[in-house]
Amino acid sequence: MVDSARISFVTEASKRAQLDAIAGAFGKNLSAVINEAIDQYIDMHEWQLRHIQEGVEEARRGDFASDEEVETFFDQYEQPSC
Protein backbone atom coordinates (compact mmCIF):
# COMPACT_ATOMS: atom_id res chain seq x y z
CA MET A 1 0.00 0.00 0.00
CA VAL A 2 1.24 3.49 -0.84
CA ASP A 3 1.88 5.86 2.06
CA SER A 4 -0.60 8.72 2.06
CA ALA A 5 -0.43 12.21 3.47
CA ARG A 6 -3.39 14.50 3.86
CA ILE A 7 -3.01 18.07 2.60
CA SER A 8 -5.43 20.93 2.27
CA PHE A 9 -5.32 24.08 0.21
CA VAL A 10 -7.54 26.92 -0.88
CA THR A 11 -8.57 27.39 -4.50
CA GLU A 12 -11.15 29.38 -6.42
CA ALA A 13 -14.69 28.03 -6.29
CA SER A 14 -14.78 27.87 -10.09
CA LYS A 15 -11.71 25.61 -10.15
CA ARG A 16 -13.31 23.33 -7.57
CA ALA A 17 -16.44 23.14 -9.72
CA GLN A 18 -14.35 22.28 -12.78
CA LEU A 19 -12.52 19.55 -10.88
CA ASP A 20 -15.81 18.13 -9.61
CA ALA A 21 -17.18 18.10 -13.18
CA ILE A 22 -14.08 16.34 -14.50
CA ALA A 23 -14.21 13.78 -11.71
CA GLY A 24 -17.88 13.10 -12.38
CA ALA A 25 -17.38 12.81 -16.13
CA PHE A 26 -14.69 10.18 -15.67
CA GLY A 27 -16.32 8.38 -12.76
CA LYS A 28 -13.48 9.26 -10.40
CA ASN A 29 -13.39 10.88 -7.01
CA LEU A 30 -11.96 14.35 -6.52
CA SER A 31 -8.85 13.04 -4.80
CA ALA A 32 -7.97 10.84 -7.78
CA VAL A 33 -8.32 13.75 -10.21
CA ILE A 34 -6.19 16.04 -8.06
CA ASN A 35 -3.53 13.34 -7.65
CA GLU A 36 -3.38 12.83 -11.43
CA ALA A 37 -2.90 16.58 -11.88
CA ILE A 38 -0.15 16.64 -9.25
CA ASP A 39 1.58 13.66 -10.92
CA GLN A 40 1.56 15.46 -14.28
CA TYR A 41 2.87 18.67 -12.68
CA ILE A 42 5.71 16.80 -10.96
CA ASP A 43 6.64 14.89 -14.13
CA MET A 44 6.77 18.08 -16.21
CA HIS A 45 8.83 20.09 -13.73
CA GLU A 46 11.22 17.25 -12.91
CA TRP A 47 11.82 16.80 -16.66
CA GLN A 48 12.50 20.54 -17.05
CA LEU A 49 14.82 20.63 -14.05
CA ARG A 50 16.78 17.60 -15.30
CA HIS A 51 17.33 19.22 -18.69
CA ILE A 52 18.28 22.56 -17.16
CA GLN A 53 20.77 20.85 -14.87
CA GLU A 54 22.23 18.90 -17.80
CA GLY A 55 22.62 22.15 -19.76
CA VAL A 56 24.33 23.86 -16.83
CA GLU A 57 26.76 20.95 -16.47
CA GLU A 58 27.52 21.05 -20.21
CA ALA A 59 28.17 24.79 -19.97
CA ARG A 60 30.48 24.31 -16.99
CA ARG A 61 32.46 21.81 -19.07
CA GLY A 62 32.60 24.30 -21.95
CA ASP A 63 30.49 21.99 -24.12
CA PHE A 64 28.73 24.50 -26.38
CA ALA A 65 27.25 24.07 -29.85
CA SER A 66 29.54 25.06 -32.70
CA ASP A 67 28.52 27.80 -35.14
CA GLU A 68 27.85 25.08 -37.73
CA GLU A 69 25.57 23.15 -35.34
CA VAL A 70 23.60 26.30 -34.53
CA GLU A 71 23.25 27.19 -38.21
CA THR A 72 22.09 23.66 -39.09
CA PHE A 73 19.53 23.76 -36.30
CA PHE A 74 18.01 27.05 -37.43
CA ASP A 75 18.12 26.13 -41.13
CA GLN A 76 15.56 23.41 -40.53
CA TYR A 77 13.05 26.09 -39.43
CA GLU A 78 13.76 28.57 -42.21
CA GLN A 79 10.69 29.49 -44.24
CA PRO A 80 11.05 29.21 -48.02
CA SER A 81 10.88 32.51 -49.91
CA CYS A 82 7.75 33.12 -51.92
Q: pLDDT tens for residues 8-47?
A: 999 999 999 999 999 999 999 999 999 999 999 999 999 9
pTM listed for this prediction: 0.69
Q: Report how many domains make up the chain.
A: 1
What is the Cα–Cα distance from 13 to 8, expressed in whole angstroms?
14
End-to-end, the C-alpha distance of the chain in Å comes to 62
In a domain, 8, yes or no: no
Domain hosting residue 25, numbered range: 13-75
On whether residue 4 sits in a domain, the answer given is no
Residue 1, in any domain of the structure: no
Domain-located, residue 66: yes
